[in-house]
Amino acid sequence: MAPPSTSRGASRRRRSAWDLTALLNAADPKAPLPERHLWLVRLLEWIRHRAPADPALDVGSNATLTAVLRIRHLLNVLDKHPEHRSHVAALLAAFWREIDVAALLADFGFAPRLAFFNEIGERLRTRLLPHTPATTDLAELFGLLFSDADDARWLRALDEDTLTRLGSLFSEATAAETPGPMGWREPFHDAIMFLAAQVRAVGFSGPIRQRMSASALAGQPFRQLARAAEQMRDHAEAGDTAAVLRDVQYLRALLDACRTAAGTVREHLEEHGVSVDIVFQLDQLFERTHRIEELLTCAIAPQPGAELSRLLAELVEAAARRRSLRAPFARTYSMLARKVAERSAETGEHYITRDRAEYLAMLAKAAGGGLVIAFTTLAKFLVMALGFSAFWAGLLAGVNYAGSFVLIHLLHWTVATKQPAMTAPAMAARLEDVSSDDKLEGFVDQVAHLIRSQVAGIVGNVVVVIPVVLLLQGLGWVTFGAPLVGEHAARHSLETLSLLGPTPLYAAFTGVLLFLSSLIAGWAENWFVLHKLDSAIRWNPRFVAVLGASRAERWARWWRANISGLTSNISLGLMLGLVPAVAGFFALPIEVRHVTLSSGQIAAALGTLGAGLLHSHEFWWCVAAIPFTGLLNLTVSFFLAFKLAMRSRGIRVGDRQRIYAAIRARLAGRPMSFLLPPRAAPAAQAAS
């Protein structure tokens, strides 16, 4: 009796042979088109099978080598059985005769419409809706044939001998279907012609053409590209090989010129604002020029097996990308994120103090912000006392916050929590080069400056908002015989602001809102610049007629300088008021905890309940929550903004340990540099 392992191996070999034999027996070139396409799908499934039944074809976890061995095994079987080979060849001939190969080469992997959100919808349809093999469009069938992203690996792993044998089988199958000088290369020439026309159309479109450099368009590369592709096809059809080679060189030169011209659009966007749709169109243009280069290589190669295998692998990877929803967002929004971060970085530089004079100025600005927030706090209690429904109470609270933040902005004061999301992009800009010790030390200096600035902002806000609220409460007692804040509202504030409750979680969530407001501000400023609204205010005839030339110019400068700050403050105020109300509608227990507003609320509760509250543990737990609230507001918003800024700049911080070590060394050697400023900024920093 054979050992169990031997009997199992024999069983697997018989099952594997039966699977392939059954598959080859089912190859019917006279079957209906969907059945023939399904046979090809099953053949590729057999090739990529993860657990092959035949040990001779099983190499464990190496699926790539397994697929290559299975292709060799298939070719060996076809060589030994001429009847199977003839059936497979006839089926491939029918496939080549009826399928539109040029559609795969020219259209697959590209957006049917050059609009970003249309492409997102198309990808959703591709992922969610099933595909049918009853089609003559190879671009539609390709996703069924190569449904696994790992197919690209075994396609690239095919050796020259295997590729030659596959080419012989394919030539045998399509010899009668591809008469004429071009032979099987005809769809390649057609696809090159289609792609060239699409590249020309994008290059001639208004948003792209108007942003290109005039010098880059001097040779009219887009106009000549489609003509050159048609001319190459005519020469290939006539069998003029020498002329085709000359056309290929000319086409490649034109493609380089088109890419150079399209590159100037990116330079324009860097300077004048980013459009998501334009960035998306540029990506499509560059990808199409790359596809043309690949098709040219395949069309002129004397032994095209390796080039065709590489092209198929790239098409498989394109299929995987088409199923991804994250890829277009990551690629298309990277440039927008960089622009948003840069706009925030320009603003953020104003929030970083470097010497004692700037530090004292920041304290004064923060004190002014604390003064306004004191009145904002009492206005919030008034809104709560009016008894509106959740939405209207949230809206009024948001308008109260937004109005206060805008007033602080217009008075050139500051709210501490607005700083980190703006300063993070400026910090990321310093990380682009920390290769030398001097530059690393400069970055640590910026960290120290930033922390001092945040401390000054929080201290200035809190030390003013608390006494001002207490003073206003005292005036209420003197004037009305009662505090401005009712006892019920005061006790409710103490219950909700305690460190023992969810205050830390809410403070971290507020940091997310702070980051989102900076993101909205950067986007709004980019939109303002992209659509040239400052120029429209300055030169539009109606504006000039109403305002006058000099006032229109001042308005244009003012809006250009303040659009970011206004958008940031208004969006933050509305989010602080409305997000909890909207979350409550969905039964989500989400609230906001802003360090300055929370300090004002605690002071208002003290003014209502009296000095006896100082002996209450409840009160001191609320006081203890203030530093944690400020810390979480700042760190969460800074972390998110810093991460966005680094990604948008493509920064890879390979020497993070050096940075951390340098910061620890500064903490050990000069800890007070993170809290107190030097008398004057170093000369190099002042020059910067």
Per-residue pLDDT of 512-570, as tens digits, reads 999 888 878 878 888 898 888 999 999 999 999 999 999 999 999 999 989 988 998 99
Question: Which burial class, exposed, middle or buried, applies to 49 when counting CB atoms under 10 A from its CB (0-12, 13-18, 19+)?
Answer: middle
**In the predicted model, is pLDDT for residue 425 greater than 80?**
no
User: pLDDT tens-digit profile of 435-465?
Assistant: 677 777 877 887 788 778 888 888 999 999 9
3-state secondary structure 157-176: CCCHHHHHHHHHHHHHHHCC
Give 13-19 contacts, CB < 8 A, sequence gap 24+. Answer: 13/53, 13/54, 13/55, 13/56, 15/53, 16/52, 16/53, 16/54, 16/57, 17/54, 19/46, 19/53
Across the range 74-99, mean pLDDT stands at: 93
pTM: 0.69
Residue 125, both tokens: 């349809």
pLDDT of residue 684: 42
Q: Which of 16-30, 127-141, 270-284, 361-375 has the highest mean pLDDT?
A: 361-375
- 261-275, 385-399, 404-418: range with highest mean pLDDT: 385-399
| Cα 252 to Cα 445: distance, rounded to the nearest angstrom | 50
Q: Which of these, 210, 173, 153, lies nearest to 94 by C-alpha position? A: 173
Residue from 580, 608, 579, 592 nearest 508 by CA: 592
181 or 395: whose pLDDT is higher?
Answer: 395
H helix count then E strand count, the chain: 29, 0
Give the mean model confidence (pLDDT) for residues 617-644. Answer: 88
Using an 8 Å Cβ cutoff, are 649 and 338 in contact? Answer: yes
User: For the segment 484-498, what is each residue's pLDDT rounded down to a tens digit?
Assistant: 999 999 999 999 999
Alpha helices by DSSP H, 349-436: 356-385, 390-410, 419-430
pLDDT of residue 115: 63
d(CA 534, CA 525): 11
Top pLDDT among 13 and 600 is at 600
Q: Which two tokens stand for residue 588?
A: 């989500």
Residue 52 pLDDT > 70:
no
What pLDDT is attached to residue 369? 95
Give the mean pLDDT of the chain. 84
- What pLDDT is stored for residue 260 in this prediction? 94
Return the closest-CA partner of residue 603 out of 457, 471, 417.
471
CA distances from 610 to 80, 605, 623 (A): 100, 8, 15
Name, of 19-23, 517-521, 586-590, 672-676, the range with top average pLDDT.
586-590
- Which residue has 């969530």 as its token pair? 509
Burial class (CB in 10 A: 0-12, 13-18, 19+), 147: middle
Q: What is the pLDDT of residues 256-265, one digit of tens each?
A: 999 999 999 9
What's the rounded mean pLDDT across residues 379-405?
A: 94
Q: Calculate helix-pair angle for 33-48, 138-145, nearest 10 degrees.
A: 40
Banded pLDDT at 85 (limits 50, 70, 90): very high
- Which runs of E-coded beta strand occur in 262-338? none
Residue 363 in tokens: 């304290």
Cα 590 to Cα 187, 393, 488, 505: the distances in Å are 59, 15, 21, 9
Q: What are phi and psi of 100, to 5 degrees?
A: -95, 95
**Which pLDDT belongs to residue 615?**
94
Output 328 or 498, whichever has higher pLDDT.
498
Q: Where are the alpha helices (DSSP H) in 531-655?
A: 533-539, 541-547, 549-585, 595-609, 617-648
Q: What is the pLDDT of residues 216-258, one digit of tens each?
A: 888 899 999 999 999 999 999 999 999 999 999 999 999 999 9
- Would you state the pLDDT for residue 493? 94
Q: What is the dihedral of CA 665, 670, 672, 675, to 10 degrees?
A: -50
Share of the chain above pLDDT 90, in %: 55
Task: Please write the tens of the pLDDT for every residue from 111-159.
Answer: 776 666 676 777 777 777 788 899 999 988 998 899 888 899 999 999 9
8 A C-beta contact, residue 449 and residue 353: yes
DSSP letter at 128 equals H
Q: Quick check: 337 pLDDT over 70? A: no
Kindly report the number of other CB atoms within 10 A of residue 348's CB atom.
Answer: 25
Phi-psi region of 60 (alpha: psi -120 to 50; beta: other; left: phi over 0): left
Q: Which amino acid is at 595?
A: V
